[in-house]
Chains A and B, each alone.
Chain A
Amino acid sequence: MTQTFELAVELFLAAILVGGGIFALVGSYGLLRLPEPMQRLHAPTKATTIGVGAALLVSALDMLPQGGGISWQELLITIFLLLTAPITALFLAKTLLLRHEDPATLPETGTGHPWATLGEERPDP
């Protein structure tokens, strides 16, 4: 690989890394700035998707300009992040629903049954 091409790839990867960092920063800033708890929940989901995604992409392709291969372990991290992040968000949302949210502000389910978190408590099976 020629020197110029190597440099171009490295610059491209650096740009992705900086871009992802900016999005992660905006996500954290949103956590500070937004007034309502439910609005603040939107910030962490952002940071994982683009911020961490960009860092992992660059980490996987890092050795490419020097002639190394793609590191596939980053794909594994991505998969597990995509699996776990929505679950964390769901549990935070459920906590907020129980603790902070007035049930009257929620829309109807439209099915005749209540929202699961606010429904009658069922005994553990």
Chain B
Amino acid sequence: MLRRLFPHPYLTLTLIVLWFLLVNQIKVGSLVMAVFLGTILPHLTSAWWPDRPIIRRPLGLLAYTALVMWDVIVANFQVARIVLFMPKAKIRSAWVTIPLDLRSPEAISLLAGTITMTPGTVSSDMSACGKALLVHSLHAPDPDEVRDTIKARYEARLKRIFE
């Protein structure tokens, strides 16, 4: 019964929180509207959500967010230095193939998003079978190092959170 009413509990919860952020105040009326939207929208969009995402460690996701935010700040300084001071001829841009151990689609999209939001790397494509990511790196004298960093720093953590 509960499962049929809320086929995607995470989505319902997210929608309720998003609605409160949108109205920017805590009122009973907002809660009614939030629960209404949180119930209706998952049903209307369930065609695009065939499976429920499984999050084994929700707290790990918070720690992961903090780690990524820190990395974004550090990487911004590195890329700013490259953009401002490095002679054009010395910038060694490279394509990097990241073989994926992750299988959950949610985890892979999160990894691809992380790679893009961290300055210096942009995830550009995926292999047709979904088992490798194509990443462009702005300055990578050693492409293997970029691959190893992404796998150890981000993919390993996502694997613990999702799988």
Binding site for B on A (CB under 8 A): 23, 26-27, 29-30, 33-36, 38-39, 41-43, 45-46, 48-50, 53, 71-73, 75-76, 79, 82-83, 85-86, 89-90, 93-94, 96-97, 105-119
| B window 88-104: CB within 8 A of A | 88, 91, 93, 95-97, 99
Smallest CB gap from A96: residue in B? B124
B8 at interface by CB-CB < 8 Å: no
Q: Hey, which chain A residues are within 8 Å of B122, CB to CB?
A: 38, 41-42, 45, 89, 93
Smallest CB gap from A94: residue in B? B125
**Cβ contact within 8 Å between A33 and B88:** yes
**Cβ contact within 8 Å between B120 and A117:** no
**Cβ contact within 8 Å between B21 and A110:** no
Task: Count B interface residues, CB 8 Å.
Answer: 38
Q: Hey, which chain A residues are within 8 Å of B128, CB to CB?
A: 109, 113-116, 119
Smallest CB gap from B147: residue in A? A107
Distance in Å: Cβ of B111 to nearest Cβ of chain A: 10
Whether A49 contacts B79 in the complex (CB less than 8 A), given A38-B136, A111-B127, comes out as no
Q: Can you list 9 A-B pairs, Cβ within 8 angstroms, ordered by A?
A: A26-B80, A38-B122, A46-B76, A49-B72, A49-B117, A73-B24, A89-B116, A94-B125, A115-B126
Binding site for A on B (CB under 8 A): 18, 20-22, 24, 72-73, 76, 79-80, 83-84, 88, 91, 93, 95-97, 99, 112-113, 116-117, 119-120, 122-129, 131-132, 134, 136, 138
Q: Hey, which chain B residues are within 8 Å of A118, CB to CB?
A: 125
Distance in Å: Cβ of A118 to nearest Cβ of chain B: 8
**Cβ contact within 8 Å between B99 and A42:** no
Query: Once bound together, how far apart are the Cα atoms of A42 and B138, in whole Å?
Result: 7
Q: Hey, which chain A residues are within 8 Å of B83, CB to CB?
A: 26-27, 29-30, 33-34, 43
Contact partner, A111, options B24, B125, B131, B136, Cβ 8 Å? B131
Query: Once bound together, how far apart are the Cα atoms of A49 and B18, in whole Å?
Result: 21
**Cβ contact within 8 Å between B124 and A86:** no
Query: Once bound together, how far apart are the Cα atoms of A111 and B3, in whole Å?
Result: 38
7 further A-B pairs in the complex, CB-CB below 8 A; given A26-B84, A117-B125: A33-B83, A41-B122, A46-B79, A50-B119, A72-B24, A89-B116, A90-B116
Q: Hey, which chain B residues are within 8 Å of A34, CB to CB?
A: 83, 88, 91
Q: Hey, which chain A residues are within 8 Å of B96, CB to CB?
A: 107
| A-B interface, 6 closest residue pairs, ranked by CB to CB distance from nearest | A93-B124, A109-B127, A30-B83, A86-B116, A86-B113, A113-B129
Contact partner, A108, options B21, B97, B113, B120, Cβ 8 Å? B97
Contact partner, B127, options A38, A48, A89, A114, Cβ 8 Å? A114
